[in-house]
Structure 1
């Protein structure tokens, strides 16, 4: 399998999911990603025992999905960056790396002497990458952020999916939702920066903010608001269908499941839907027998569609609609996504062997090269590769022992 990042070394000084997820994607693509963790505490995300109310790991298992997802394929080194004795090892790692990747706040970067000028003084050719909550400039440049705040709330998604008059704001549909999207974005930026360095010889500084990724995700409505010069009017969509198309939107089945219809050409797909549903006479109904009439009478047509779909269970509709050409999808829960036949056919649910020798599965990043699914390796245990990486730097024996006794390395 072609792994386009083979030969690239990434030095990651980051924690949680936003930014580490970028390192995981680069590792999937073949990069050697060395993750620097605090010499005593490790990545703070290792301390999360419950996520969204769920246990983060199975009892007695070392497999910790919240760490495996954004850290698979990396090597972990426990290095006390605040300890002067660790500086030599850090500088040697910087010297040997192509990319320096961090999400530490400006104050921490300055204190640890890992700002751009510090890192470039050691390796002038390194690509320096920062992930932030709110960007490099402005009054909030030194402010921390999570995807729930910077991406979801500030970026417009929360308001976009919260119904007018609701007593509760809609939450992100998954943990690390914006973080994962942001990590993929950073990985793309790094790929572009590596290409630029290869063609021009000039290294780049890459910046990606969660707020910027959030605004990009909602750009359609943000751009409309900018065009109109103010907030968009609150829209109350029809209960079923759209104003001009009954084959758009969500419909509930007899057993309480949801189907999403997205047949953007109502005149083309209406006869097919009616036939599949066993209501062929509706295609000849004088209210719906032309595209213009169907669009003009979308509301009564949508009410009929809702009644038809509500009469049968979800499994029936999956089979029925699967026989047609119109576009639709089942609304799936997390387990169903993990079993999705198209994801599995394309290798996007990937096998990985955990530290205990147990075969597990993870979602693969969505990019494939040469029509070949990615091969995943597990995430590292805390500081698992410290001795290995130190040996590569020529730090062994008494020298390594002194660093450990000084608390510089784990």
Structure 2
């Protein structure tokens, strides 16, 4: 059974930076052929990103900032403002199943790549748009990034920031909202392809950073709207749940943290006590009922903090292996790469020269097999030859600046 359900699907991607290209990366791991159109001279601006915060990569070699969202694609250098370049694009669109773009409405119109333009040469194509703020409303023509539209406007930043903090919390890593939104868009495209297969009707698929940001906070926004108060971040060091000692963070002897999330504390209290060498508290009436646990949460937190401070994370990891309630070590972005469970499920995979995080969907209990990200315009000639262009015509297109 194939673990690449989109084999045979061709996606024509006219996009840059993180959001929409990450959608294309997911589609490649699902089996699609993704042809990435890059500016004939400068390519995707993401290729020039070599430093994020304190992290800097050697710009002369493989760059995770471009590989993450462009694994497995074919890169074609094309000047869409050049009539000959536009001709090549439309020829590719005629032979594609999906047109995927991040370009703003005015630019799409100017370049002749809006829905009607592409559907004129391929009426059955699925047209997919990734935007900052959605396809409707007075701001639909504006651009944005994950920091603005997803993180800040979608309420994640404010909801995570503790009260009294100057400023707001930043996203935990680069392309955070981009990657989440890109996966959402890939799912929408897959659904549209399924609909076309069933009915013959193509769809226009829209996903925005704002919509994804709001969806990511969907539970919290619905609750806030219902009770009339916003979420506020928990001040570091405070216990997260005021009525449940089994839902919060506990510091270990070596300065690491363990996260407990047991939403039914009466069910798990006795088992936790036995695992942390506090068997005498298993039947303590202060923690016998939901009401008594809620009333005695501060004391329960104090006792558990003292207990967890007696062993290292490695010792607790072995000891808590038989604990029935949900818990996890708090890991940073380097530690997670060594997590045995992450490795067992192949959530980090070799893309042929660089380890990348796999997209989160697996088919038939099989990890995707990614390919490296392409060098700029590396497949231009290959793709043009497949379209039927001969070498004389390819040389003409290069001389005219239409292709790289």
- TM (norm. structure 1) is 0.94
CA distance in structure 2 between the aligned counterparts of 1:270 and 1:328, rounded to whole angstroms: 13
Q: Any idea what the Cα deviations from partners look like across 1:285-344, whole Å, max 9, x if unmatched?
A: 342345543333122111111121123222222222223111101110111111221121
Residue 208 (structure 1) aligned with residue 178 (structure 2): no
CA distance in structure 2 between the aligned counterparts of 1:234 and 1:324, rounded to whole angstroms: 31
| Structure 2 spans left out of the alignment, 5+ residues | none
CA distance in structure 2 between the aligned counterparts of 1:236 and 1:253, rounded to whole angstroms: 20
Cα 1:98–1:235 shift into 2, 3 Å: closer
Partner residue, 2:262: 263
Residue 293 (structure 1) aligned with residue 287 (structure 2): no
CA distance in structure 2 between the aligned counterparts of 1:97 and 1:388, rounded to whole angstroms: 16
- What displacement does 1:140 show? 0.9
Aligned with 2:358 (options 348, 359, 364)? 364
- What displacement does 1:223 show? 0.9
- What displacement does 1:234 show? 5.3
Partner residue, 2:68: 69
Q: Secondary structure at the match of 1:322?
A: helix
Q: Is the 8 A contact 2:50 2:59 kept in 1?
A: no
Partner residue, 1:276: 275
- What displacement does 1:167 show? 1.6
Q: Is the 8 A contact 1:52 1:175 kept in 2?
A: no
Q: Secondary structure at the match of 1:307?
A: helix
Partner residue, 2:136: 137
CA distance in structure 1 between the aligned counterparts of 2:261 and 2:163, rounded to whole angstroms: 23
Over aligned residues, Cα RMSD in angstroms?
A: 1.6
Residue 389 (structure 1) aligned with residue 389 (structure 2): no
Q: Secondary structure at the match of 2:6?
A: coil
Partner residue, 2:344: 345
Cα 1:235–1:400 shift into 2, 3 Å: closer
Q: Is the 8 A contact 2:5 2:31 kept in 1?
A: yes
Q: Secondary structure at the match of 1:37?
A: strand
Q: Is the 8 A contact 2:50 2:63 kept in 1?
A: no
Q: Any idea what the Cα deviations from partners look like across 1:21-66, whole Å, max 9, x if unmatched?
A: 11111110110100000000000100112123311x3475x31111
Partner residue, 2:51: 50
| Structure 1 spans left out of the alignment, 5+ residues | 355-359
Cα 1:77–1:308 shift into 2, 3 Å: same
Cα 1:59–1:21 shift into 2, 3 Å: closer
- What displacement does 1:119 show? 0.7
Q: Between Structure 1 and Structure 2, how many residues are aligned?
A: 402
- TM (norm. structure 2) is 0.96
Residue 12 (structure 1) aligned with residue 6 (structure 2): no
Q: Is the 8 A contact 1:267 1:291 kept in 2?
A: yes
Residue 21 (structure 1) aligned with residue 38 (structure 2): no
CA distance in structure 2 between the aligned counterparts of 1:133 and 1:296, rounded to whole angstroms: 45
Partner residue, 1:357: none
Query: Which region of structure 1 is more displaced relative to structure 2, 136-145 or 249-258?
Result: 249-258
Alignment of 1:92-131 (within 5 A): 92-131=91-130
- What displacement does 1:231 show? 3.4
Partner residue, 1:31: 32
Q: Secondary structure at the match of 1:334?
A: coil
Partner residue, 1:377: 371
Partner residue, 1:329: 328
Partner residue, 2:184: 185
Q: Secondary structure at the match of 1:353?
A: coil
Residue 232 (structure 1) aligned with residue 226 (structure 2): no
